[in-house]
Amino acid sequence: MLPGSIQITGEALSGAEIKDICDSLKENSVRLLSVRGCQLSDRDFGRVCRGLTDCHSVAQLNLNLGVVSSIGRVKQLAEALQANRSIQALFLHGSPLMDAGLAALNTALSTHPSLVSLDLGDCMLGDEGVQIICGMLPPDGAKSGLKELTLSANPAITSKGWARLAIAVAHSSQLRVLNLDYNPLGDQIAGMLAVAVASSRTLEVLDLEGTGLTNQSAQIFLDMVENYPTCLRMLVLAENDISAELQQQISDLLSEGEEDDEGAARGTGGLSLMRKVTTPKAVKLRQRTGGSLLSPVAPADSSSQMVLVTSGLGDSLLAETEM
C-alpha cells in the first residue's frame, strides 16, 4: 500500500488520535503529516517526535499555527529531525520560535539530508535568525541547500538582516523560490533584492506582496528584466503602491522572456522557464496542490483575482489540499 496522508486542522488531539498517528509513523504508512493549529500535550508532542525519528516515509511535516509553542518542543523537534532522513518540506509558519528557537533547530535543519522547503513565516525572527538561515543557502560549489524559503511576516528583521539575506541569495546554488511577503521592506531593500535576483542562476519566484514598495522599486525590476537575463519566472508585486502601468510593462517583458524560453526549449528539447508577474489585484493561496507549493492566503477583497504561485519543485513534494 502506498503511503497516505494525515491532515488535521485546529483540533484538540486525544491520546487515541496521537496513538494512531504514532502507529502510522511506525508502520511507515504516512507521507504527509499535518496537524496545523492543533492542540496536544507536551507528552503527546514528544510521542509524535519520537515517531518521526524512525519513520522513513514522511516527506512533508506541517506544524503551522503554534503547534511548536515552547523551547521544549523546539528541542524535541530538533532531536527528531537529526535522526529523520525523509522529510523534504517542513512548515512552521506561525510558531513563536524567535531567534533562540531557530538557533536550537539550526544543526538539525542545516544537516538534514533531504530538506528542500522551509516555511518560517510569522516566526518572530530577527537578524540573528536571518544569519542562521543564510547558512542554509550555501554558495555555488558547496553542499546542497534549500530550494524554497518562506520568511513572510517577520517584521523584526532589519535592513542589515535583509542585506545579509540578499547576499546569500545572490550566491545560493539551489534557491528557486523566495517568499518575503508582508515584511516592511521598502524600496531600498527591494533594490538589494533586485541585485540578488540578477546575480542568482536559480531563483524563479520572488514574492514581494505587501512589502511597502513604490514605483521606484518597480522601475528597478523593470530595468532588470529588460536588460539582464535572469531565471525569474514569477514576480509578485500585489498590495504595493505600484502603478498598473509599470506592472503591465514588467508583465509584458516577462511574457516575452517566456516565449523566448519556450522557443529555445522546442529547438533544443530542453525545459523552458515560464516568467510571469501578478496583476495589482492578485492574491495568493497558502494551499499546496498539484505537486507544487503555493504561496499564502493574503488579506484581500473577495472580488480579487487568485494567482497560483508554484515553486516548480515537481513531484518530490506531496500535494497538500488543506487550507
Q: Which neighbouring-strand residues pair with 90? A: 61, 118
Same-domain check for residues 104 and 220: no
Q: Using CB atoms within 10 Å of the CB of residue 17, give its burial: 0 to 12 exposed, 13 to 18 middle, 19+ buried.
A: middle
Region for 85 from its dihedrals, namely left if φ exceeds 0, alpha if ψ lies in -120 to 50, beta otherwise: alpha
- Looking at the structure, tell me whether residues 176 and 231 fall in a common domain: yes
Point out which residues pair with 277 in neighbouring strands: 235
- Single out the residue in 106, 124, 142 at which a domain terminates: 124
Q: Are residues 114 and 189 in the same domain?
A: no
Cβ(135)–Cβ(118) under 8 Å? no
End residue of a domain, out of 258, 282, 308: 258
Phi, psi of 178 (to 5 degrees): -130, 115
The answer on 7 and 106 residing in a single domain is: yes
Burial class (CB in 10 A: 0-12, 13-18, 19+), 113: exposed
Residues 101 and 177 reside in one and the same domain: no
Does residue 219 lie within any of the structural domains? yes
The three-class DSSP label of residue 158 is: coil
Same domain, 7 and 99: yes
Whether residue 249 lies inside any domain: the answer is yes
Domain annotation covers residue 231 = yes
Predicted TM-score of the model (pTM)? 0.82
User: Domain end: 258, 291, 307, which one?
Assistant: 258
Residues 37-79: tens digit of each pLDDT? 999 999 999 999 999 998 999 999 999 999 999 999 999 999 9
- Cα separation, 213 vs 226, whole angstroms: 19
Residue 311 is predicted with a pLDDT of 35
Q: What is the CATH number of the domain that holds 85?
A: 3.80.10.10
Q: Same structural domain for residues 192 and 120?
A: no
Task: Please name the residues in contact with 104: beta carbons below 8 A apart, sequence gap of 6 or more.
Answer: 71, 74, 75, 78
260's CB contacts (< 8 A; 6+ apart) are none
Give the largest CA-CA distance in the chain.
60
Statement to judge: residues 234 and 118 lie in one domain: no
Q: What is the pLDDT of residue 138?
A: 85
Residue from 188, 192, 167, 169 nearest 179 by CA:
169
Alpha helices in the chain (DSSP H): 15-26, 42-54, 71-83, 98-111, 127-134, 159-171, 186-199, 215-227, 244-268
What pLDDT is stored for residue 259 in this prediction? 56
Q: In what order do the strands lie in the sheet with 148-150?
A: 4-7, 30-34, 60-62, 89-91, 117-119, 148-150, 177-179, 205-207, 234-236, 276-277
321 and 287 in contact (C-beta within 8 Å)?
Answer: yes
Residue 196 domain flag: yes
Is residue 17 within 8 Å of residue 44, measured between CB atoms?
Answer: no
Number of domains in the chain: 2
Q: Does residue 270 fall inside a structural domain? A: no
> Residue 31 falls within a domain, yes or no?
yes
- Same domain? For 5 and 113 the reply is yes
User: Are residues 93 and 191 part of one domain?
Assistant: no
Domain match, 203 and 249 both? yes
Domain extent at residue 173: 159-258
Bridge partners (DSSP) of residue 306 are 283
In a domain, 43, yes or no: yes
Q: Is the dihedral of CA 231, 186, 157, 287 positive or negative?
A: negative
Task: Say if 102 falls within a structural domain.
Answer: yes
**What's the confidence (pLDDT) of residue 257?**
58
Yes or no: say if 167 and 196 are a contact pair by the CB < 8 Å rule: yes
Does 106 lie in the same domain as 47? yes
The pLDDT, as a whole number, for residue 36 is 95
Distance separating alpha carbons of residues 115 and 134, to the nearest angstrom: 15
> In a structure prediction context, what are the per-residue pLDDT tens digits for the chain, which is 323 residues long?
456 999 999 999 999 999 999 999 999 999 999 999 999 999 999 999 999 998 999 999 999 999 999 999 999 999 999 999 999 999 999 999 999 999 999 999 999 999 999 999 999 999 999 999 999 998 765 567 899 999 999 999 999 999 999 999 998 878 999 999 999 999 999 999 999 999 999 999 999 999 999 999 999 999 999 888 888 888 999 999 999 999 888 888 877 755 555 554 444 343 333 333 443 333 343 333 233 333 333 333 333 322 333 333 433 344 443 33
